Structures are given as structure tokens and as C-alpha cells.
Structure 1
Amino acid sequence: MIDMGDALEDRTKVALTAMRKILRTTELNSKRLTQETGLTPSLLIFMQMLDDQREQTAGYVAGRMGITQATTTALMHRLEAQGMIQRRKGETDRRQVWLSLTEAGRKVLQIAPDGVHARFHDEFAALQDWEQAMLITALERVAAMLGNDDVGTAAVLDATAVLASG
């Protein structure tokens, strides 16, 4: 007779192994990206949001990335200090901040590896709607089980930030 406790323990190990694989993949991606460009995945994705040759508002980028205004400001300051982006105040509304890539920022985007975000996006987009919904639900449930139901968490896989905070 199969002990249900053993079966649950085996499934728990399989689930934890899968999570470790995800963390390891994002960690390796982060290291490679940092070595090749000096950027974290969060910084790279922020820059990719500006890569359509026209200015974007900081609020628009924050909304597309799913991050808070405070996080947006921190990323913006880091990228500006590195010479990757430039910002200017709005002409009609001085509270509005317009962002664009610098030439240096465009060059870095050209050499940046695609990484885990691009691969996940492509693979996820190829799934059926019901599969996407099922995965989202399962991942949200795992996050809640681990006590991380913070709605302000960015939609960016940045293992260095995860590992530093945990």
C-alpha cells in the first residue's frame, strides 16, 4: 500500500526542484546579462520599453512593466547615471517626465542577450488561452503559498534581487 504522506513528500520535492530550476535559470541569465552589458534584467527591460524610437512617459513605462512609481524612479536614476537614457520635463505639465534612450543605450540593447524573459514570452505566447490562465493561476498560488502576495512586485525575473532580499 502506498503511503499518502510519502507521495505528498515526493510531489513536494518535485515542486521545490522545479522552483529551484527556475531560480537557477534566472540567476544564470542575470549574471550573463550583467557580464555582457552591466545591466540587471530590470534595467534591460526598462530600456526595452523605450526602444521604439519615441519618447515615453515614466508612468507609461511603469504601467507596462507592472512596477511602482518608486521603483520606476530608482531604475530611471540608475539608467540616467549610466548614460543609457535621458529624461526631460513635460512642456505642458512639468510633473510629467519623458524618457528616451541615448545612443549608448541603443548600443547596449543591440549587444544584450535575449535571455530568459524573451524565451518565456515566446513560449508562453504559443500556449492556448486556457493553458496560460492555468499557469498564471498556479504561479500566483505558489507565490501566495510562500507568503508573497505583494501586488507591487514587478513582472521581471531578476534573481539577484530575489536572492538578495531572501
Structure 2
Amino acid sequence: MTRHDEVLVLIRRIIRAADLRSKQLGKETGLTAPQLLILRSIGDSRNTTMSQVAQNISLSQATVTSIVDRLEKKSLVARIRDSVDKRRIYLVLTDEGKEVLAGAPRPLQELFTSRFDNLPEWEQYLILASLAKVADMMDATDIDASPLLAVGSVT
């Protein structure tokens, strides 16, 4: 096998890993990876807002709003209006949302992040530079993307 074929196989394995984890999440929780990340973000903080969640997981506020709407329909998230400033709305997990989150597997990016953060700094830069070059070679430099390892549409 040529080196470029080896690189393409590795890229395909990464894509496949994201696809398999997304399917596993869907099967076990009925949620997509972005929905689970939003649940985790809400569960990890107290009195969080839509914009704070969007910032925490690097998605647009419009995308987060759309996903939260779906989570609210599933009774996993509730919107609570601030008692002092009625314009301010907080997101909280419902009891059902807490149960789903407690039993959910970790998203692939969380596993990646913990392993990546344990690498020496020089190795992190090497991986970053290599992947930036691959993205450039695949004309993917200008494609807008969030740090979600999920296959398909975020919304």
C-alpha cells in the first residue's frame, strides 16, 4: 500500500469511528452527539444560558437554540425565566435529562480530548500541524466546523 493510501485509510478510520460512536449514542440514548454535548454542558453548570452553552461547545446560538428546542420537547431540558430580570432565561436539566445523562456513554470528542491533553506539548503541535496540512490538501481549510466528532448535520 502506498503512503497516500495509508493516510486515506487512516482518515476513513477516523470518519468511521465518529460514525460508529454517533450510532452507538443514538441507540443507547436516543440522542445525537450534539444533543448529548448540550445536555452535558447544561448539567455541568448552574444557571447557564443559551449563549453560554453555545460558547462552551463552540456552536452558534441559533444551532444550540434549535437543539435545545428538541431536547425540551423530549422533556430533558427546561427553560427557567430569571425571577429578577425576566429577559434572562436559564437552561436546566429535568430529572429525566439527568437520568439520560447519567447513563450516556462519553462522546468521542471527550475521549479524544482527555487523551490528547495527556500528550506532550510537542506531540500536540505535531498532530495539529499535520492535520492542518491534511485539511489544506483536501481543500477543507475554509469549511466552517465545530469541534464535534459527529457524522451528519449538527441540527
Bin the TM-score by the shorter chain. 0.7 to 0.9
SS of residue paired to 2:43: coil
Q: Look up the match of 1:160.
A: 152
Q: Which amino acid is the alignment partner of residue 106 of structure 2?
A: D
- How is 1:16-95 mapped onto 2 (pairs within 5 angstroms)? 16-52=8-44, 54-90=46-82, 91-92=84-85, 94=87
Q: Compute the displacement of 1:150 (Å).
A: 4.5
| TM-score normalized with structure 2 length | 0.87
Identical-residue share of aligned pairs (%): 33
Q: Look up the match of 1:14.
A: 6
Q: Which amino acid is the alignment partner of residue 42 of structure 2?
A: L
Q: Look up the match of 1:128.
A: 120
> In structure 2, do the counterparts of structure 1 residues 87 and 141 end up closer, same or farther at CA, with 3 Å as the change threshold?
farther
Q: Compute the displacement of 1:143 (Å).
A: 2.7
The gaps in structure 2 that reach 5 residues or longer are none
With 69-78 and 136-145 compared, the bigger mean Cα shift is at 136-145
Considering only CA atoms, is the larger Rg found in Structure 1 or Structure 2?
1
Q: Look up the match of 1:5.
A: none
The gaps in structure 1 that reach 5 residues or longer are 1-8
Q: Deviations over 1:115-153 (max 9, x none)?
A: 422321221111112222222232233333333334742
> In structure 2, do the counterparts of structure 1 residues 74 and 139 end up closer, same or farther at CA, with 3 Å as the change threshold?
farther
Q: Compute the displacement of 1:73 (Å).
A: 1.4
| TM-score normalized with structure 1 length | 0.82
> In structure 2, do the counterparts of structure 1 residues 134 and 110 end up closer, same or farther at CA, with 3 Å as the change threshold?
same
With 35-44 and 107-116 compared, the bigger mean Cα shift is at 107-116
Q: Look up the match of 2:97.
A: 105
> In structure 2, do the counterparts of structure 1 residues 151 and 46 end up closer, same or farther at CA, with 3 Å as the change threshold?
farther
Question: Structure 2: how far apart are the matches of 1:33 and 1:142?
Answer: 28
Is residue 149 of structure 1 aligned with residue 145 of structure 2?
no
Alignment check: 8 A CA contact 1:66 1:152 kept? no
Q: Which amino acid is the alignment partner of residue 134 of structure 1?
A: L
Total equivalences in the alignment: 153
For the aligned residue pairs, the C-alpha RMSD in angstroms reads 2.1
Alignment check: 8 A CA contact 2:37 2:107 kept? no
